[in-house]
Amino acid sequence: MSVPLFTPIDMGGDVVLPNRIVVSPMCQYSAPEGSASDWHLAHYAQLAASGAGLLVVEATAVSAEGRITAGCLGLYNDANEAALKRVVDWCRAYMPTTKLGIQIGHAGRKASAQRPWHGGGPLTARDVPDLPWTTVSASAIAFDSMGGGVGFQGGAPAQAPAAKWHVPVALDVHGLERVKAEFVATAQRAVRLGFDVIELHGAHGYFLHQFLSPLTNRREDDYGGTKQKRRRYPLEVFAAVRAVVPRERSLGIRLSATDWVDGAMTVDDTVETARQLKALGCDFIDVSSGGTIPTAKITVGPGYHVPFSARVRKEAGIRTWAVGIITEPEQANDIVARGDADCTAHARSFMVDPRWGWNAARALGVETPPLPTPYHRAGSILPFKPQAAMAKAAE
């Protein structure tokens, strides 16, 4: 009997994933000057051997000013590219069946922040050597100007210190062209590195989302006001990136389906955005939510984004990934089986269990994904009966 989670999926272009499991981008905040470190090599090496069909590299900034923190990964200069090539080359050499993706983005007004384990709030002059830098956005509205004190998006937000968030510079048209060119240049580097899948980050209150949401976009020019004008800049950026990403590669975007605030961005808005992105050559939508303002009341629970993914998939007619506390293999398989998403994307599940994909296959009774050659002897060990399996293997 076919198990939906472990059936191949055409992701657009020439990209076919061997299964529907995606390792979601997970910020590591461990990249000096934006360059991947030994930590990244160890981190992505184990995740490439996780059994997932696609491994997506963490949010990768298109410029130094676009980093969330001073430790965020970047792909905006030759040193960044060379450092990340080391990681990509390892994954290709030892786990060639795992497809590789990268999420590229710009943090906008949520940039110049402390690492989460330092509180996640805005950098201040006291945070030496990570001095604050000027942030930019659609409008000059600070992250905490809507009230609140929660300072960091990413799982359970950390409590920000009392310091006020920076007021960003509202970019003029020349600034918008500059950032668009940075997205294009980073996409070209990602293509050169050989990534199969490229995802723009248009969610969680970061730069592109800041144009889509009326909470952060108060512009009175052609990039603000109506819903369609608020879409204009993200659509322009996507189109510019699509123009340099070969059609044999898969290109998509992560969107926050809703701001979780009355009168702000809704799932209906996101469905229409998805329709227009599809017309521009978008291959998939990675459907998340929230992150725009710190005081939004978000209803969190297992699979809480799945209904949003289902609506976007059905009404926009585009592939979707479902995210958000999808921890159990049966849960993920049911999501795909119901047609609520084409893939399920997991983050913390893989931190807890770097072999989640292998173990999901065993739990669902299908053949495990390919293992690295040195691990082949582990293929007969069942994780839920380790002693019995080890005894059988020793016979």
Q: What is the largest distance, in Å, between two alpha-carbon atoms of the chain?
A: 75
Q: Give residue 1's Cα distance to chain centre.
A: 32
Pairing status of strand 16-17 against strand 9-10? antiparallel
Q: Give residue 3's Cα distance to chain centre.
A: 26
Q: What span, in angstroms and rounded, lies between the C-alpha atoms of 58 and 231?
A: 25
Q: What span, in angstroms and rounded, lies between the C-alpha atoms of 196 and 220?
A: 38
Tokens of 67: 């980093």
Element (H, E) at 105: strand 99-105
SS3 20: coil
Which among 279, 235, 287 has a CA at the least distance from the CA of 258? 287
Catalytic site residue 206?
A: yes
Q: Any bridge partners for residue 17, and if so which?
A: 9
Amino acid identity for residue 245 in this structure = V
Tokens of 275: 């329709």
Of the listed 206, 223, 233, 304, which one is catalytic?
206
Residues in the chain: 395
SS3 345: strand
Active site residues: 206
